[in-house]
């Protein structure tokens, strides 16, 4: 676990144990994005207003983004900046529900190794199958004439296509 997240565990435990409805809590996910930590709290019933307020104050005082997940397909952004990480100098926005590489150092090394091995030239055209949210695709797009990323999970590409933070054109 990342040291920044591990350091949050005692405070998270204290906050959650002080809620009025701890029996309605499911699990907690902590993610360390490049712009700071985020917490996803799964709960099985509506949280009392006081608990929501306490969680929001906690997130603000600890500098973490807070998401509540009352159902598996619902994710409510309560506070904090939307998460992002960088890949080859590009800012990639993601949802806490997305698959991302857990170890940032390993991820950066994978991307750099792939770019070196592929030795993409400005005239090259690239097809990236199962591209996810663009961890490899977007860095490739800064080097090649054309890159097509194919992904079967709509949530990974649909809403983010217009939100690329890269000097490239993104479409769906």
The domain 3-79 is placed in CATH, from the list 1.20.210.10, 2.60.200.20, 2.40.50.1070, 2.40.128.20, at 2.40.50.1070
Angle separating helix axes 3-17 and 49-61, nearest 10 degrees: 150
pLDDT digits (tens, 9 = 90+) for 27-69: 999 999 999 999 999 999 889 999 999 999 999 999 999 999 9
Per-domain boundaries in the chain: 3-79, 97-163
H or E element in which residue 137 lies: helix 137-141
Establish whether 151 is an annotated binding residue.
yes
Cα dihedral 17, 20, 24, 30 sign: negative
Helix (H, G, I), strand (E, B) or coil at 108: helix
pTM, two decimals, is: 0.80
Establish whether 130 is an annotated binding residue.
yes
pLDDT band at 155 (very low <50, low <70, confident <90, very high): confident
What does the alpha-carbon distance between residue 83 and residue 146 come to, in Å, rounded to a whole number? 27
pLDDT digits (tens, 9 = 90+) for 61-117: 999 999 999 877 789 999 999 999 888 888 888 888 887 777 788 888 999 999 999
Distance of CA 95 to the CA centre of its chain: 4
What does the alpha-carbon distance between residue 79 and residue 63 come to, in Å, rounded to a whole number? 10
């Amino acid at each position: 676990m990342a040291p920044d997240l591990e350091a949050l565990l005692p405070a998270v435990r204290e906050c959650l144990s002080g809620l009025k409805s701890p029996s309605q809590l499911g699990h907690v996910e902590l993610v360390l994005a490049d712009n700071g930590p985020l917490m996803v709290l799964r709960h099985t019933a509506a949280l009392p207003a006081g608990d929501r307020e306490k969680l929001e104050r906690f997130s603000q005082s600890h500098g973490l983004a807070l998401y509540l997940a009352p159902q598996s397909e619902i994710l409510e952004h309560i506070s904090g900046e939307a998460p992002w990480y960088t890949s080859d100098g590009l800012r990639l926005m993601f949802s806490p529900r997305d698959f991302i590489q857990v170890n940032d150092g390993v991820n950066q090394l994978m991307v750099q190794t792939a770019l070196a091995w592929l030795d993409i030239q400005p005239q090259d055209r690239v097809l990236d199958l199962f591209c996810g949210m663009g961890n490899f695709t977007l860095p490739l797009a800064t080097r090649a004439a054309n890159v097509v990323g194919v992904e079967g999970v709509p949530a990974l590409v649909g809403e983010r296509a217009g939100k690329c933070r890269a000097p490239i054109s993104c479409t769906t």
